[in-house]
Structure 1
Amino acid sequence: MAELTFLSQPGGNIWAAEAPDWTNSEREVLKIGITGEAIEARASARGQTWQVGQMYGVVGTGMIFTQHVFRGLKRDMFVGDDRKADRSKYAVSWAAPNDVRFAEDAQGGYLEYYPAPEGCIFVVYISINRMLVEFPDIFGWAEHWTWVDEDPGKSGAPVEWADRYEELVWSRDA
């Protein structure tokens, strides 16, 4: 089973999940990074136990089962100097079987598994890695993940996906 892996890169240590290679490169899988800072921000924020649990139990174990990859968000996004950052974002989706929450007790932390929300699929938003010298093994960065209603006409895709994203770039069923 896939899981988050800890990678040592010239730019530092990061966590990575595997995704199918939708770029038609020579790679078996794409590595999608999650920085320690992103993990710490979620772990230290109140009410983020679901985000942390999902990182380990849904993103880390499930991204390899991606059913669809979309590129370009149909909403304006300004990041740094990039006024058109929305065009280069990816969204990957799949029908994850479980939702996961991080919990703690006297012995430490553990993951609690729950059924996935009915009628929903899981979506991870990814930015392209622009720091290839520092992180050469990373294709992109997982920035946000969430449950979204499933499109009734396309299994494993977000509802109204054609209105959300510029293009469908890859599907497992293609």
Structure 2
Amino acid sequence: MEFRYSEAGSYYWTSAPDFAGLGKDRVTIAASTGSLQNRVSRGVRTQLGQFYGVIATGAINAVAAHKGLKRSMLVGDDQDAHEEKYVLVLNPPHDACLVGDRFEPRTSKIDPPPQQVFVIYLTPNKKRADFPDVDYWIEHWTWVDADATDPRQPFGFQERYDEPCVWERP
């Protein structure tokens, strides 16, 4: 995980496989510092621990990606924002939480929830002029139940997304 600053704002970024066929070895996924600071102000220590202890270290090891959420989503003026969302699926060997106080925080590895996969919701970067190094913005992340027929995937993945399995790790 690296920190970058631009005149438009700052962000933390990491690499992921090129799940959308951009023609790169890896794509850059990022979260704005404002997004992370919002989680700090809400006291969401588990999500912060997961950001640094699961996403930063494990996004490059994603096993699959899906496109399009089958639920309406309005973002700004875009009434069809759900169609452009990607869901990156990880099967990390651990979960993580943030421990320590605000002066010396650190991540701690903990057991992952049983029969669950870790998903990261991503949005394509539409502000390339301001953030030329960012391919996708990290919107949300969480553990979800694994599918019974393919435990590497989220539950009901074939019906859950407009385009299931746009990319899978061989």
Tell me if both proteins adopt one fold, taking TM over 0.5 as the criterion. yes
Q: Structure 1 residue aligned with 2:28, among 27, 31, 40?
A: 31
Taking a change above 3 Å as real, the CA distance of residues 106 and 144 of structure 1, as seen in their structure-2 partners, is closer
Q: Measure, in 2, the Cα distance between the counterparts of 1:73 and 1:26.
A: 24
Q: Is the 8 A contact 1:10 1:133 kept in 2?
A: no
Please report how far the alpha carbon of residue 109 of structure 1 lies from its aligned counterpart in structure 2 after TM superposition. 1.0
Please report how far the alpha carbon of residue 56 of structure 1 lies from its aligned counterpart in structure 2 after TM superposition. 0.2
Instruction: Report whether the alignment pairs 1:135 with 2:131.
Output: yes
Instruction: Report whether the alignment pairs 1:164 with 2:160.
Output: yes
SS at match of 2:152: coil
* Structure 1 partner of 2:51: 55
Taking a change above 3 Å as real, the CA distance of residues 116 and 84 of structure 1, as seen in their structure-2 partners, is same
Please report how far the alpha carbon of residue 107 of structure 1 lies from its aligned counterpart in structure 2 after TM superposition. 6.3
RMSD of aligned Cα (Å) = 1.5
- Return the letter of the residue paired with 1:54: Q
Please report how far the alpha carbon of residue 152 of structure 1 lies from its aligned counterpart in structure 2 after TM superposition. 2.1
Q: Structure 1 residue aligned with 2:67, among 68, 71, 82?
A: 71
Superposition pairs for residues 109-124 of structure 1, below 5 Å? 109-124=105-120
Q: Measure, in 1, the Cα distance between the counterparts of 2:116 and 2:133.
A: 31
Q: Is the 8 A contact 1:17 1:31 kept in 2?
A: yes
* Structure 2 partner of 1:6: 3
Q: Measure, in 2, the Cα distance between the counterparts of 1:59 and 1:106.
A: 21
Q: Is the 8 A contact 2:16 2:60 kept in 1?
A: yes
- Return the letter of the residue paired with 2:35: A
Percent same amino acid among aligned pairs?
33
Please report how far the alpha carbon of residue 14 of structure 1 lies from its aligned counterpart in structure 2 after TM superposition. 1.1
Taking a change above 3 Å as real, the CA distance of residues 25 and 86 of structure 1, as seen in their structure-2 partners, is closer
Please report how far the alpha carbon of residue 27 of structure 1 lies from its aligned counterpart in structure 2 after TM superposition. 2.0
Please report how far the alpha carbon of residue 25 of structure 1 lies from its aligned counterpart in structure 2 after TM superposition. 3.2
Q: Measure, in 1, the Cα distance between the counterparts of 2:101 and 2:88.
A: 33
Instruction: Report whether the alignment pairs 1:125 with 2:129.
Output: no
Q: Measure, in 2, the Cα distance between the counterparts of 1:54 and 1:166.
A: 27
114-123 vs 101-110, which moves further: 101-110
